[in-house]
């Protein structure tokens, strides 16, 4: 069984712990586990593993003792529970960052850390595009000033190093090329990364009113009342339009500027 620090989902960790315990002792069962935990509901842990019940703080502490977790293992397990059950995105970020802090202190490296870092900074995808420009000769100061808003040369350099580590760009002499390498992690981490990225891009969209000339951006909105079917139809149309925009970008031969296109459709009232 893997180290607990290699997990991001406490449910997956519990499932692997149960499978390993069953392998070592064929008589091990959820009823046996419930007895060791001192609880009367034999399938409670199973329901928690399946996401049908929440993990209480009391059950979390009991499980940590039964699984013989110690010190930072116990803290990490409780952080995983908090991460998976957090009610707000900021809470989720807080638990995940603490998990990463424990990993780094133990020198445990996981791909989630680099991918989390990639989506945590809005400029990483932009730099991935800019480094392929013929004008870019490896000068990070030039690169930093080309972004809007601009960043520091050190940030630009760190971004390039990250993109190289992730395999999203390759270097040939002083030139860079994009690669099609994509990273995948568990859905619990992916959703966190995506929300972080969308939040940063939404903030940049709001700032663009002050940063750009009126004819350099196009931001509109409308408030609608829709049926459920209309919502799904609009969502499908948005998906088709996004694919068309990506196709246009692929065909562009003389592109001179990088744009961010945000399309948002979300409820403003309860059902």
Q: Mean pLDDT across the stretch 18-42?
A: 94
Q: How buried is residue 4: exposed, middle or buried, by Cβ count under 10 Å (0-12/13-18/19+)?
A: buried
What is the model's pLDDT at position 271? 74
4 close to 17: Cβ distance less than 8 angstroms: no
Closest to 208 (Cα-Cα) out of 125, 152, 123, 148: 148
Q: How buried is residue 258: exposed, middle or buried, by Cβ count under 10 Å (0-12/13-18/19+)?
A: middle
What is the model's pLDDT at position 72? 92
Q: Mean pLDDT across the stretch 225-244?
A: 90
pLDDT tens profile 161-203: 989 988 889 988 878 888 865 544 555 555 676 777 777 778 8
Q: Which range, of 96-100, 194-198, 210-214, averages the lowest pLDDT? A: 210-214
Q: Mean pLDDT across the stretch 10-34?
A: 94
The string of DSSP codes covering 73-124 is: HHHHHHHHHHHHH-SSHHHHHHHHHHHHHHHHHTT---HHHHHHHHHHSTHH
The string of DSSP codes covering 30-42 is: HHHHHHHHT-S-T
Q: Which range, of 24-38, 151-165, 211-225, averages the lowest pLDDT? A: 211-225
d(CA 126, CA 163): 11
Q: Mean pLDDT across the stretch 126-147?
A: 88
pLDDT, mean over the chain: 85
Q: Residue length, the chain?
A: 271
pLDDT-derived band at 149, boundaries 50, 70, 90? confident
What is the model's pLDDT at position 236? 92
Q: Mean pLDDT across the stretch 26-54?
A: 94
What is the model's pLDDT at position 199? 79
In the chain, what are the domain boundaries?
4-109
Assess whether pLDDT exceeds 70 at residue 8.
yes
40 close to 6: Cβ distance less than 8 angstroms: no
Place of tokens 């992916």: 190
Report for 75-79, 118-122, 241-245: range of highest mean pLDDT:
75-79
- Domain 4-109 class in CATH: mainly alpha
Q: Mean pLDDT across the stretch 3-11?
A: 90
What is the model's pLDDT at position 188? 57
What is the model's pLDDT at position 212? 62
What is the model's pLDDT at position 96? 87
Q: Mean pLDDT across the stretch 121-140?
A: 87
């Amino acid at each position: 069984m893997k180290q607990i620090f290699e997990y991001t989902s406490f449910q997956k960790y519990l499932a692997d712990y149960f499978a390993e315990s069953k392998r070592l002792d064929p008589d091990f069962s959820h009823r046996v586990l419930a007895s060791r935990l001192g609880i009367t509901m034999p399938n409670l842990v199973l329901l928690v593993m399946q996401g049908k019940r929440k993990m209480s703080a009391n059950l979390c502490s009991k499980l940590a003792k039964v699984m013989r977790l110690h010190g930072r293992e116990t803290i990490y397990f409780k952080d995983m529970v908090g991460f998976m059950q957090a009610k707000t995105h900021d809470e989720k970020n807080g638990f995940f960052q603490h998990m990463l802090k424990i990993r780094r202190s133990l020198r445990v490296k996981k791909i989630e850390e680099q991918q989390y870092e990639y989506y945590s900074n809005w400029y990483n995808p932009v730099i991935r595009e800019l480094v392929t420009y013929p004008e870019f000769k490896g000068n990070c100061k030039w690169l930093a000033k080309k972004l809007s808003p601009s960043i520091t040369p050190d940030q630009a350099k760190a971004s390039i190093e990250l993109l190289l580590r992730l395999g999203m760009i390759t270097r040939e002499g002083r030139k860079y090329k994009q690669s099609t390498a994509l990273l995948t992690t568990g859905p619990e981490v992916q959703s966190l990364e995506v929300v972080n990225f969308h939040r940063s891009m939404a903030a940049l969209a709001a700032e663009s009113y002050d940063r750009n000339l009126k004819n350099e951006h196009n931001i509109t909105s409308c408030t609608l009342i829709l049926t459920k079917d209309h919502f799904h139809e609009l969502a499908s149309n948005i998906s088709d339009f996004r694919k068309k925009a990506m196709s246009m970008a692929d065909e562009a031969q003389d592109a001179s500027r990088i744009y961010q296109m945000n399309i948002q459709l979300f409820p403003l009232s309860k059902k």
